[in-house]
Structure 1
Amino acid sequence: MTALEQVWYGESAGARIGRAALWPAEQVYAAAVRLRGALYDRALLETLSAPLPVLAIGNLSVGGTGKTPIAAWAVSRLRDRGAHPAVVLRGYGGDEPLVHEILNPGTPVLCDSDRVRGARTARSAGADCVVLDDAFQHRRIARTADWVLISAERFTSTTHMLPAGPLREPLAALARADVAIVTRKVASTTEAQRVAERIESMIHVGTAVVHLAPSHFVDAHDETSRPLDAVRGARVVAVAAVGEPEAFFAQLRELGARDVQGIAYRDHHAFTAADVARLARAAAQADAVVCTLKDAVKLAPQWTPRAVPLWYVSQRAEVEHGAHLLDASLAHVLAARTSTPSTAGATG
C-alpha cells in the first residue's frame, strides 16, 4: 500500500491520526460534492442528451473495483447481441485504452475527458451504443443505464470521503444507479453476498455479484497461454500498479505459488528502465514475473531480461448473483438504439 492507502484502510494508531488530521479537508470536499449533486438534481447544472444509448460504468471509490474488466465484459455481451458498441473513457495513465483494445479487438476505444463529445465521435466511427468506463460522477452526459461497482474486499473499510478515505461520493449516491455490482477477487462468495444484502437494505438498489477470477496466464512477449497451475509451487515476483494490489498478490497465493514477492506501485504507474532493472534484480532467483494485463501493456515493451519470463493474468468475469438485472440493463441499452437522441437516456 502507498502511504495514503495506509491512512485510508489501516487500523493502526498512525492511520487513525492521519484520518483525523484530514477530517476538516474531508468535510470541505463532502460539502462540495453535496452542492454539485444538488445542482444536478435540480437541473441547475445541465445534463446533455447523448447521441447514442449509454451504459455508464463507474464506482464510488478511487480504483480497485474492476471497472475496466466489467466494462470489457459488457462490451462483449453487447457485441454478442448484435450491437456495435464503442468504449469512451478519459484514458488516464494510458493503460486502460490498450487493455480495452486487447480484450475486445475491433471495438472503437476513444479517449476524451468530455464524454458527450466522445459519444459523438463514437457515432461518427459507426457505433450504435457507448460504454463509458469510469463515468458515474460524470453527470453531464445522460445515460441509459448506470452500473456502480463496489469492492467486496474493501467495503467495510471504505467509510471516509476524500482525502481522508477513498470515497468520491457517499454511499447514498448508489441510489442513482440501476445496478450496484459487488466485485470480488479473494473475498468469499458469502462475504460478497453479505455486502450486496447490506447495500440493498441501506440504499434499496438492485445488486449483482461478479467474481473477477483468473482465467489463465499469458506470456507478455509471444501471447502464448499457460494454465493456472503453471505457478503451483513456483517462486513468483508479482508486480501490480493497480488500485488493489494486495488482492492480486492473494490470488497468486491461492493458485498455489510457493513464494510470492509482491511489488506494488501506484495505480497507473508509468514503468521506467530503472523499474525494469529493479524487477530483474528481484526476479534473479524467481521462476517468473507475473503482472496484471493493465501493467503488461506498459511493462512488456521494456522487458529485456529474457531469462525470466513476464506473464500477465487474464481475468474472466463470472456473474454469481443478479444476472437478470445486468441482462435487463443491457436489453434496455439495445432497445434504446432505435430511440432519438432526445429520448436515449435519463439523467443520472
Structure 2
Amino acid sequence: MMKQEEFRRLVRGESRGWLASATRGALWVLSLPYALGVSLRNLAFDRGWREVVRARLPVLSVGNVTVGGTGKTPMVEYFASQLREKGLRVCLLSRGYGVSDGPNDEALVLEENLPDVPHLQGRNRAQLATIADEELESQVLVLDDGFQHRRLGRDADVVLIDATDPFGGGRLLPAGLLREPFSSLGRADLVVLTRRDAIDEDQRRSIKRRLGRWTKAPWAEVSFDPTALVDAEGAERPIAALAGKRVATFCGLGNPEGFRRTVALLGGETIDHRDFPDHHPYSRDDIESLLAWVAEVRPELVLTTQKDLVKVRLTLLGSVPLAAVKIAARVDEGAEAIDHVLAQIAAKVPREE
C-alpha cells in the first residue's frame, strides 16, 4: 500500500517516471465519478432539493477544501475559546472520524485543552445540535470539519487553507487532495490561511490572489505557536527545555511536514522521525516497534503531537521521556475579520427566558 507521504508527492507531481505518470492518469480517471458526485450533491443543496436543517442555536463551521493537515483542531479550539471569552456556553459537534467505542483523537485533545466545552460526535449532526440545545443548554455550536456537511445549516463558514499545500495538487480526490473544487469557496464567509509563517510574503500574496478567483470572503492569516511540552499525565515543561537535546519524533497526521517543521524550529537536534497514517490508532505492535526504534536511535527525548499522545498514553518509551508539543493559534493578519464573524455569531444567540 502506498504511504501517505508518497501519495502526496505523487499527486503534487513530485514523483517522476513512467509509473508515476501512469498512476496519476489512472487516479484522474477515478476522480471523474467523484467530481460528478460532489457536483450533484452541492447542486441539490444549492437548489433546495436536499433539506437543510436549521438549529435553534447559531452554528459556526470550521472546515477546509483539502484532505488532512490544515490545522482544524487548533483552529476549532481557538474559535471555541474566543466564544467562551464572550461568556457563551459552547458545544463542539463533529463527525468523529475513526470513532468506534469512544471519542477520537481530536476530541480527546479538545477535551484536554477545553475542559469546560462539551464535544458531541456522531453522523447525525442535526440531532447532535438538538441534544446540545435541549440537554446541555448550550448557546453556540462550533461545527468541526463542517464545510462539506451541508445538512446542518450554519451562520458562518470558516474555510482553512494550509500555506504549505494550499491547492492540494489542483485536482479532486483521488487524483489530488481536493475534497471539493475551489469554486465551492463561494460559500465561505471567512478564509483563513494557516501556517502562514512557513512561507514568505510573496507566496502569501500569490495564494490570496489565486483564491480570489473563487471567493471575495474576508481574509485572515494565522500561525501555530508551540506553547509547552506536555506529557501523558498533563505535566507541562517550557519549550526551552528542548534546547540542545537529541530528539526523535513521530506522528500520525494528514500533513506531517507541518509537525516536523515546528520541531525543527524549537532548538533541539532531530535525529530521526517516523510517520504513521492520519488518525492512527496505535496497536500493541506499534508500541513495541516504537520501543525498538527508540532503543536503536537513542534520543534524549521523544516528541509527538497531542493527537498522538492521547492514544499512546505513555510518559516513557523505554527509559526515554515522551512528550507532545502543545500548540496554539496566533492571528497574524485579519483579526478584524475574525472578530466580525465572532460578533455576528454572538449576536444570534437566543435570549434566555
Q: TM-score, normalised by structure 2?
A: 0.91
Deviation at 1:117, TM superposition (A): 0.5
Per-residue displacement from partner, 1:277-326 (whole Å, max 9, x unpaired)?
2112222211111110011100115x663511110011010111111111
Structure-2 residue corresponding to 1:236:
247
Once the 2 structures are TM-superposed, how far is the Cα of residue 136 of structure 1 from its aligned partner?
A: 0.4
Is 1:242–1:266's contact at 8 Å kept on the other side of the alignment?
yes
Shift in Å, 1:53: 0.6
**Residues 1:186 and 1:232: Cα distance change in structure 2 (over 3 Å):** farther
**In structure 1, what is the Cα distance between the partners aligned to 2:35 and 2:22?**
20
1:121 matched to 2:131? The reply is yes
Tell me what 2:79 maps to.
74
Structure 2 match to 1:336: 348
Q: Which residue of 293, 296, 305 corresponds with 2:306?
A: 293
1:89 Cα deviation after fit: 0.6
Counterpart residue number, 1:142 = 153
| Counterpart AA for 1:114 | N
SS at 1:101 equivalent: helix
Tell me whether 1:103 sits opposite 2:113 in the alignment.
yes
> 2:76·2:144 contact (CA, 8 Å) conserved in 1?
yes
Q: Alpha carbons of 1:71 and 1:22: their partners in 2 closer, same or farther (altered >3 Å)?
A: same
Q: Any residues of structure 2 matched to 1:216-295 within 5 Å, and which?
A: 216-221=228-233, 223-284=234-295, 285-295=298-308
- 1:260 is displaced (CA, Å) by 3.6
Contact 2:316 2:322 survives alignment (8 Å): no
Unaligned runs of 5+ in 1: 341-348
What letter matches 2:106 in structure 1?
E
Structure 2 gaps of 5+ residues are 99-103
- The alignment yields a C-alpha RMSD, in angstroms, of 1.8
SS at match of 1:211: strand
The aligned amino acid for 2:15 is: S
Greater CA drift, 199-208 or 127-136: 199-208
State the SS of the aligned residue for 2:349. Answer: helix
**How many residue pairs were aligned?**
338
Cα distance, 1:224 vs structure 2: 2.2
Alpha-carbon distance in structure 1 between the residues aligned to 2:338 and 2:21: 38
Q: Which amino acid aligns with 2:109?
A: V
Q: Is the 8 A contact 1:253 1:260 kept in 2?
A: no
State the partner residue of 1:28.
33
Secondary structure, counterpart of 2:79 in structure 1: helix
Tell me the distance in 2 between the aligned counterparts of 1:339 and 1:175: 31
Q: Residue 23 of structure 1: CA displacement?
A: 1.0
Counterpart contact for 2:139–2:350, Cα < 8 Å: no
1:108-157: CA deviation from partner (whole Å, max 9, x where unpaired) = 11012111011111112111110010010111111011101110000145
Tell me by how many angstroms 1:199 deviates: 1.8
Instruction: For 1:201 and 1:187, locate their aligned partners in 2 and report how far apart those are by CA, in whole Å.
Output: 23
Structure 1 CA distance for aligned equivalents of residues 262 and 235 of structure 2: 21
Matches of residues 167-186 of structure 1 in structure 2 within 5 Å? 167-184=178-195
Q: Supply the distance in 2 between the matched residues of 1:41 and 1:227 (Cα, whole angstroms).
A: 49
Give the 3 Å change call, closer, same or farther, for CA 183–16 of structure 1 in structure 2.
farther
Q: Distance in 2 between matches of 1:10 and 1:159?
A: 10
How many angstroms does 1:218 deviate by? 1.2
> Do residues 199 (structure 1) and 202 (structure 2) align?
no
Quote how far apart the aligned CAs of 1:275 are. Answer: 1.2
The percentage of counterpart residues that share the same residue type is 37
* Counterpart-to-counterpart distance in 2, 1:323 and 1:200: 19
1:88·1:118 contact (CA, 8 Å) conserved in 2?
yes
Alignment deviations for residues 197-235 of structure 1 (CA, whole Å, 9 cap, x no partner): 4323542222111111211211223x2222223222222
Mapped partners of 2:74, 2:60: distance in 1: 14
What amino acid does structure 2 have at the position aligned with 1:11?
A: E
Q: CA deviation at 1:33?
A: 0.8
Matched, 1:215 2:227: yes
Question: Structure 1 residues 218 and 185 mapped into 2: Cα distance closer, same or farther (>3 Å)?
Answer: farther
> 1:121 corresponds to which letter in structure 2?
I
What TM-score, normalized to structure 1? Answer: 0.92
The one-letter code of the counterpart of 2:270 is D
| In 1, Cα distance between equivalents of 2:130 and 2:266 | 44
